[in-house]
Amino acid sequence: MSLFDKFQPIAEVRAELQQLGVMPFGAVTEKLLSATEGIVNGHRVILAGTNNYLGLTFDPECIAAARRALEELGTGTTGSRMANGTFREHVELERELADFFGRSHSIVFSTGYAATMGMGSTLAGPGDVIVLDADSHASIYDGVRLGGAEIIRFRHNDPADLEKRLRRLGERIQNTLIIVEGVYSMMGDQAPLAEIAEVKRRHGGMLLVDEAHSLGMLGEHGRGVAEAAGVEDEVDFIVGTFSKSLGAIGGYCVSNHAELDTIRFAIRSYIFTASPSPSVVASTRVALRLLQQRPELRERLWENAERLYEGLKQLGLRVSPQLSPVIAVTVEDRRQAIDWWNRLMERGAYVNLVMPPASPTPASLLRCSVSAAHSSEQIDRIIEAFASLQATAGTP
């Protein structure tokens, strides 16, 4: 036996892909031409897999703010928030996030992964219980495993199954944390948060919602699924990321529980990592303001999402079960999925290839994510790229 033996299945898949002449994992973006176009693996493509939902990565105001911060504050903090890494701008961003969500307390993390993992590993520990959606993101699973709480999974988006599992806990419900996502990143389906909140009201426990893929796209003010479902008062903690709609990198947690300010000093992914660089904080602050000032971005995002969703659906493809800016095409055969991903690239459309175990089913996915910055013509060209594949290879 060797330490490397467990990686053999990965090595075999990688070798298979190399034989096919493709390398979908870690595709190299050689040049960005705009928020929606680039040169990837030598091909000029429409970027249809970036999670750049509001298209703010090239916004002039965001870039100008980042440039000013670089010139005035340097390239990085070189320290954690607990040491020398708390700048005035970090505190201001935390205040602005709390105000945006209508919450009293906020923490900014260096990445969205650190935020989700950190809260999951810290809120519940030995003697506590975590009940989470079975399709939760890897960062959630990594966090709850570190915390040492008992982990109970309920069927994806099934409030009845959640209720059954909470009912069995009895008095332990007082030490229970429920974790769901707003929009699930692979298929784009939304959590039935109104029903989940009602289950929580009947049985108790605390509720944490990861709004990473729903910030900026749902709710009257763009706060996510909790706002859209009208249940923000039932959500104890909201976590998310700056790397989707806000076009940067970083993460956050907001809450009305005053204890969050105490919990901050127990979160290892917050304490033991360098704080976000000044330029990232600066551009994020501007993007958060633009999210609120430009509701037309959200409207355009959904127009583009509907155009692509209906276009792919009319082709007879197996698309996600629910309309969303995340649109996944299911392909049962792995080799066909790989071949289609490569052909899409050649035809000028970059999408994400997702294979098990990353995909939530044994099938593979060609995952698209739409942006408000996409033009109608670009959406039509993505549909045409899929149509040309279907004409030559048949429906998956």
Catalytically active residues are 185, 213, 244
Instruction: Judge contact between 257 and 105, C-beta under 8 A.
Output: yes
Return the H-helix or E-strand segment holding 367: strand 364-369
Q: Which residues of 313-336 are buried (b: 16+ CB within 10 A; e: fewer)?
A: eebebbbbeebbbbbbbbbeebee
Angle at alpha carbon of residue 167, lines to 164 and 171, rounded to 5°: 155
Strand partners, 49: 369
- Which residue type does 116 have? T
Q: Residue 334's closest CA among 368, 308, 314, 361?
A: 361
Instruction: Judge contact between 283 and 65, C-beta under 8 A.
Output: yes
Instruction: Judge contact between 75 and 377, C-beta under 8 A.
Output: no
Pairing of strands 129-133, 150-154: parallel
